[in-house]
Amino acid sequence: MRQTVLVTGSSRGIGRAIALKFAEEGWSVILNCARSLEQLRAVRDDIKVRTGQDCLVCPGDVGDFEQAQRIFSEIEQRFGGVDILVNNAGVSHIGLFQDMSADDWQSLLNTNLSSVFYCSKLAVPYMLSKKQGRIINISSVWGNTGASCEAAYSASKGGVNAFTRALAKELAPSNIQVNAVACGAIDTKMNQFLSPTERQELLSEIPAGRYGEPEEVAQMVYQLAHAPSYLTGQVLTLDGGWL
């Protein structure tokens, strides 16, 4: 039986690229997103065209525990569980800290941080039963350094980084590896709010001289899925030498 991978937030950008990479390498892929269902189905269709294989589409908000439970129930019925969990679902919030509402704060934390806890909690029992598994969290350089006007986003990704390191220590004796990729400026829709001038200014700060591509993140995630089992508890920065 083929190994399974769940990629949360896989309707576009980094998540889409990760799902396509694993599908092309012969994995059984489980797709998820909370709202962009038409785009999610388009990813499924793209995988079908490229690989001839179908994949399981599990829409739902993984930042809500009840919905996450439903998603994992579907996965259990179809596959038994997931061999690799990629926690990619995330949103950004740009603006002054003092203008951010308590509801906005909680919503962002639910999507960016609570979802990582919920999905990991639901994925681990199956991994424990098999005495192997991998959890790969998609983080950000702002989780390492913080960003002005992105206090909540930075806090959520800092939480992901700390969660990664702590859970890795707890699960290492069970042969389950937990790592994260801290992304820099990746050319996705999340960064499209920047004006041409702002994009150029940011570009001038990156030693590699360009933005990262979602496919490069996907390649890194796939490599982590096949890395030596001794590699765990790491937050690997992918930012072109930026920070």
For 40-83, how does the pLDDT look when each residue is reduced to its tens digit (9 = 90+)? 999 999 999 999 999 999 999 999 999 999 999 999 999 999 99
pLDDT bin (cut points 50, 70, 90) of residue 2 is confident
pLDDT attached to residue 119: 98
The mean pLDDT value for 212-235 works out to 98
Q: For residue 29, list its beta bridge partners.
A: 5
Radius of gyration of the chain (CA): 17
Residues with catalytic annotation? Answer: 153
pLDDT class of 190 with cuts at 50, 70, 90 = confident
Higher model confidence: residue 1 or residue 162? 162
Q: Compute the distance between CA of residue 225 and CA of residue 178 in angstroms, rounded to an integer.
A: 10
Element (H, E) at 5: strand 4-7
Q: Does residue 122 register a pLDDT over 80?
A: yes
Would you give the end-to-end CA distance of the chain in angstroms? 42
Quick one: pLDDT band at residue 198, thresholds 50, 70, 90? confident
Mean residue pLDDT of the chain comes to 96
* Amino acid letter, 106: Q
| pLDDT for the residue numbered 195 | 83
Alpha helices in the chain (DSSP H): 13-24, 37-51, 65-79, 102-109, 115-130, 142-145, 151-171, 196-205, 214-225
Tell which residue, 198, 83, 185, 200, has the closest CA to residue 130.
83
Residue 182, classified by CB atoms within 10 Å of its CB into exposed (0-12), middle (13-18) or buried (19+), is buried
Q: Which residues pair with 211 in a beta bridge?
A: none
Give 144-161 pLDDT, tens digit per residue.
999 999 999 999 999 999
pLDDT score, position 205: 95
The contacts of residue 82 (CB under 8 Å, 6+ apart) are: 4, 5, 6, 30, 75, 123, 126, 127, 133
Superfamily for 4-237? Answer: NAD(P)-binding Rossmann-like Domain (3.40.50.720)
Quick one: what percent of the chain has pLDDT higher than 90?
93
Residue 91's nearest CA partner among 57, 138, 136 is 138
Question: What pLDDT was estimated at residue 170?
Answer: 98
pTM of model > 0.95: yes
pLDDT beyond 80 at 209: yes
What is the arithmetic mean of pLDDT over 1-14? 95
Residue 196's pLDDT band, with cuts at 50, 70 and 90, is: confident
Which of 33-37, 114-118, 151-155 shows the lowest per-residue confidence on average (mean pLDDT)?
33-37
